[in-house]
Structure 1
Amino acid sequence: MRDRLDEALRAGRLDGLHGVVVARGGQLLLEHYGSGEDFSWGDPLGVVEFGPETLHDIRSVTKSVTALLYGVALDDGLVPAPEEALLPRFPQYPDLAADPRRARLTVAHALTMSLGLEWREDLPYDSPANAEIAMELAPDRYRYVLERPVVEPPGTRWTYCGGATALLGHLIADGTGQTLPEYAQAKLFEPLGISRYEWMAGPDGVASAASGLRLVPRDLLRIGELVLREGTWDGRRLVPADWLRTMLQPRLRTEWGARYGYHWYLDTVAGHDLVAGMGNGGQRLYVLPGLDLTVAVTAGNYDHPEQWRTPLALLEQVILPEIG
């Protein structure tokens, strides 16, 4: 696998790769770190020499971590079930709740990014015209999301929406009485042995449930291993098995054809079922249950229109040919 990786790097097929860690059956198969220009939530860090202890934005893979936390909080009885109405959990907006079109919104519509509200994230993330950036800059992020114009009935179509994840983050924080990082530390990170992380926050001080998490690749891999092991770690159940089954049930199609569950992508690659968390720039967490395989990728191709090429090339040209 190392030879295939070196060949792909020399051939320029892995542009922007910062790090990759691969494990099968809990055994490390490959670990590689490069160098390159990097950013921390848009702030330039210059050229970084990456290594096992270098924190890296995982961008929207954070959304998939938030979905895991939602299932934990649901099992604790602290957040509403997916089928429950969403607006009653935001009593500070009675005017929005009075709109019958918005009253139909459920937690599941947030989990599947099918709120039916106007939302554009197909613009660079350094632009205030990008809806997620506008949300972070808004005086009230939750009102910003929930008062977007209604464009279709909820549940109709998947539309990429960091605002949906922000709503879930609020439900977790409100229900648990802890910030999202505090709850994650207690319920996931500490039990997984994840001791170093950052969780970026907006100007209002609220940690971004959609894109704020920074991890080292080995720890990102641990989260994939947790999913692969159906929510258990060292004999301890961290995430309910029934939540994982529910979370990974395909519900809608993305605009490029992959299926979508509750904040996780479901697809096939080279004939193998794939569960994935995906983030801007080429950040990826791949879980292939049929192969007992997990892959964590960090990269620096932020906002690039073909940022998907490097992680996909890693899977198809470097990793899977060695697995069989």
Structure 2
Amino acid sequence: MHDQFSRFTILGAGLVLALSISATHLRAESTPPGQQGQACGSPSSIDDGWEIASPDNVGMDGAQLCTIAARLTQRSTAVHSIVVVRHGKLVFEQYFPGYDQPWGQPDGQYKFNATTKHDMRSASKSVTSLLVGIAIDRKLIAGVDEPVLKFFPDYAAVKQPGWDAITLRHLLTMSSGFKWDEARDWTDPKNDEPHLLTEPDPLGYVLSRPIAAPPDTLWAYSGGSTELLGNIVERASKTSLEAFAREVLFQPLGITDVEWKNYKNGKLAAAAGLRLRPRDAAKIGQLVLNRGQWNGQQIVSADWIAQSITPRFQAVGYFGGTLFYGYQWWMGRSLAGGREINWVAAFGWGGQRIFIVPELDFVMMTTASQYGQPKEGLAAVDILTNIVIPSVRDAH
């Protein structure tokens, strides 16, 4: 599951800073403009729709949150941002310079702040799932049990035996059963994922895959499934996925600085191409936490959120630990203070994470450049489990 579509080789990710740099200096480097002299991690006011509060005012230990930078330095993690939201209020943000591989830009050293967009990579899949839900809410799609091939009559010639049984629900849960393997090295000819980049007609490539197992019997991570979902939304809404997303999701959330990148073949990358500010990505998490509401407006139905974050399959072989999969959303747990805390998450290659913790009413978002690293994303789980969850003081 690499989703590094802009490359054919994985370049080693650099460290955020040399180990000799102190945590104090790291915090100074990462302080956004206008934030000098403020408390560590105090969010900037940039008129993006977030109400800002101090951690102490929402039942969190601000001093404990301020140990994040030192812990990241100790572990030499290539993390670029940490954003924390509690009780619907933005309470903490820190940004760190470092190496990155931004889509469509040169690899190299970058500085990040509250207004810097970052690749979301496969966290884009979770956003695409929300768009499917909105299309269903608006009666543009009848439901998740609609046959996939109903939306692709122009591809009848490439249909393989068994595809008639595949529905949108199977695409959403990665249980379609069509043959797909993207766990291999990017340069491996048996890796299906690069075909989304290189094929003149990537949809035709996906739809021509042979069936390896009946639907609902085999979970296999598949960017091809998400590409089909994105195109289904386009065909049902009669507009581009990006335009639909702007109208029904981003604008209601007050997200104005957004990109959704295309593959080199010109096709929108529904599975991996989204670029957002971390604070805006945290809005996606808050939307899920609020059961589809933002500022009192129901953007996506509460039922769709509930269905999306219901565990459907165990995600065997991905990211370690016990993870479950819903409608393009991950579910897991952390052990903190002797308690198991359940969470929902969007995962993107390289360490992009949106964690939603319903029982503690907070969202944590991270961006990073841990591309191709064996422990990719574990820094975010470490910060979540050992700092942010324990910082909550009013939990019961």
Q: CA–CA distance in 2 between the matches of 1:230 and 1:258?
A: 21
Report the equivalent of 2:274.
213
Matched, 1:103 2:164: yes
Q: Show structure 2 runs of 5+ residues with no match.
A: 1-63
* 3-state SS of paired residue (1:136): helix
User: Counterpart amino acid of 1:11?
Assistant: Q
Deviations 1:17-39 (A, max 9, x none): 00010011022232110011111
Q: Which of 86, 91, 96 is matched with 1:34 structurally?
A: 96
Give the structure with the larger strand fraction: 1
Q: Which of 284, 287, 296 is matched with 2:356 structurally?
A: 287
Matched, 1:265 2:338: no
Q: Kindly state the Cα deviation for residue 40 of structure 1 after the two structures are TM-superposed.
A: 1.9
What is the CA RMSD across the aligned residues, in angstroms? 1.7
Deviations 1:45-94 (A, max 9, x none): 42001111111001000000000011001111112411121112111122
Q: CA–CA distance in 2 between the matches of 1:70 and 1:124?
A: 30
Contact 1:127 1:133 in 2 (8 A): no
Report the equivalent of 2:292.
231
Q: Show structure 1 runs of 5+ residues with no match.
A: none
Matched, 1:60 2:122: yes
Q: CA–CA distance in 2 between the matches of 1:272 and 1:203?
A: 41
The TM-score normalised by the length of structure 2 is: 0.78
Report the equivalent of 1:83.
145
Give the structure with the larger helix fraction: 1
Report the equivalent of 1:191.
252
Contact 1:112 1:260 in 2 (8 A): yes
Q: CA–CA distance in 2 between the matches of 1:116 and 1:210?
A: 18
Matches of residues 1-324 of structure 1 in structure 2 within 5 Å?
Answer: 1-12=64-75, 15-41=77-103, 43-97=105-159, 99-125=160-186, 130-256=191-317, 257-270=322-335, 271-323=340-392
Q: CA–CA distance in 1 between the matches of 2:269 and 2:371?
A: 18
- Compare CA radii of gyration and give the structure with the larger one: 2
Deviations 1:107-147 (A, max 9, x none): 11101111112212113457665322212211211111121
Q: CA–CA distance in 1 between the matches of 2:79 and 2:200?
A: 36
Contact 1:8 1:318 in 2 (8 A): no
User: Counterpart amino acid of 2:357?
Assistant: L
Q: CA–CA distance in 1 between the matches of 2:243 and 2:298?
A: 19
User: Counterpart amino acid of 1:269?
Assistant: S
Size of the aligned set, in residue pairs, is 322
User: Counterpart amino acid of 2:307?
Assistant: T
Identical positions, percent: 38
Q: CA–CA distance in 2 between the matches of 1:125 and 1:50?
A: 28
Structure 1 42/307 Cα, relative in aligned 2: closer, same or farther at 3 Å? farther
User: Whose RCO is larger (CA < 8 A, sep 6+)?
Assistant: 1
Q: CA–CA distance in 2 between the matches of 1:50 and 1:261?
A: 32
Q: CA–CA distance in 2 between the matches of 1:72 and 1:19?
A: 29
* 3-state SS of paired residue (1:66): helix
Contact 2:161 2:210 in 1 (8 A): no
